[in-house]
Structure 1
């Protein structure tokens, strides 16, 4: 009997998409928690201010990106194509435009229907903490949900399952936020989960989804002064919501409103249709094996 090549067996186990997903998720989440702990210690020592918070938010984004890059390069042993710099600014800018449009249209509809009222303005300095929040969430959450969870689930179980799984998980991840309800989590899953997943499928890179996520949060909080996923913010425009929670999203913010669900889900379905048209859907691994096809349908 031939001896078992334990090194080869171990490498095959590590190379399975599920194992890679768990390892990379633990590494990225662990790095974010670590920076958070260090940040809390710094705040206790020197006191909090908006510029320090912005710096710590940027540190989270940089460290999460670095850990992901190292994982792909040295554990997966492949080029880090989803963070390649060629065309990155153009893709990021496209995502920013889409994120701004999604939230501006949603809040515009709410305003036309009487649910959003402008009460004044705030100084430009209110943008600093919102910018920090947008950078941190836009980078590390997209690395986790699209770069890791979506990508590896898609490799294993196909695009449809990856889209449903990560959209549902993205919505569920917001259930502990202030003022969150099951409706708000379902709204996040439908409007953001589908749109971000479809945009990742279209580009196969992280720049556009990072830009969209950043602009989505910054537009709500930094420009229109609307709560972002339940978190109260001050924006350039001082405002208040009035009317039924289905119109305004209630205390959770515009993301939980019916206008946002309609506008953003429609954008997500349009992006998903484009991904389908361009042949960017991936079959489950066993279907590819049976048919002898490559990764793409």
Structure 2
């Protein structure tokens, strides 16, 4: 009997170990979303809609909803807790504020480039960016925030504290982006700092909405003003633009994210939200979580 109890105890420790929780949660959320998209939503909408653009819009939006619900219910029953990171408390303010901030700081960077003569709008390309590409950006931002902040960062912060969670999740967040074309040094460093910023935004609010909406606004603003996004040019642009001068200022083929302006912006925002989180006493010290496995 004691042997069986010991074995059951070891199994439970494994099942609820932070690393196992991170891996299993990621697999469930990503695979469930992919399977439903491939075998249910995409075939269904393809059978009733002829427009490829509308198919992509509906499939992506419904996929984002399914992904969020999968995260919610799996986390609720697996971790046996209220999923407060998806609480609707202050959600509108955080969604609106985060999106406006992400869009606004990128717009400010382009304005600065315009003022110093390194950026010029040549033509209006139409609103195609605001249909299927925009919905793709919604889905991509939510996927990355649920995986890297809702799962990886949150569990790491509970386990090892805020500092470790910031560093590990920031580096791991940037790794997949290194596979994109036109990757450059400043942009890659900026990608890590971006991951740090998303993490500290999560710590500040303890919810997913602020980092998600900032992420979306930041990503959308770049092709709006004619820039590649993380080295990719597949989204189209709202305005066709011309860049001139040093790539350190304007960004390389990677886009405005490779500009020193973007890097400075991200660093400043990280410091601001770090200090705000510290003031609210939301930072988690490793010594305060040492030995804990589950929240609550």
User: TM (normalized to structure 1)?
Assistant: 0.88
- CA pair 111-159 structure 1, distance change in 2 beyond 3 A: same
- CA pair 43-244 structure 1, distance change in 2 beyond 3 A: farther
Bigger mean CA offset, 241-250 vs 158-167? 241-250
* 1:151 and 2:154 matched: yes
- CA pair 145-4 structure 1, distance change in 2 beyond 3 A: same
2:23 maps to 22
Q: CA deviation at 1:37?
A: 4.2
- CA pair 200-108 structure 1, distance change in 2 beyond 3 A: same
Bigger mean CA offset, 66-75 vs 225-234? 225-234
- CA pair 220-289 structure 1, distance change in 2 beyond 3 A: closer
The residue correspondences of 1:1-297 to structure 2 (distance < 5 A) are 2-5=2-5, 6-35=7-36, 37-38=38-39, 49-190=52-193, 192-221=194-223, 223-232=224-233, 233-284=235-286, 287-288=287-288
User: TM (normalized to structure 2)?
Assistant: 0.88
Q: CA deviation at 1:289?
A: 6.0
Report if the CA contact (8 A) 1:28-1:67 is conserved. Answer: yes
Distance in 1 separating the partners of 2:275 and 2:89: 26
Bigger mean CA offset, 197-206 vs 227-236? 227-236
Find the residue that maps to 2:180 and give its secondary structure. coil
- CA pair 9-132 structure 1, distance change in 2 beyond 3 A: same
Q: CA deviation at 1:95?
A: 1.0
Q: CA deviation at 1:60?
A: 2.7
Q: CA deviation at 1:272?
A: 1.1
Q: CA deviation at 1:290?
A: 6.8
Distance in 2 separating the partners of 1:56 and 1:44: 9
Unaligned runs of 5+ in 2: none
- CA pair 170-115 structure 1, distance change in 2 beyond 3 A: farther
Distance in 2 separating the partners of 1:10 and 1:127: 49
Unaligned runs of 5+ in 1: none
- CA pair 245-31 structure 1, distance change in 2 beyond 3 A: farther
Q: CA deviation at 1:254?
A: 0.6
Distance in 1 separating the partners of 2:36 and 2:241: 33
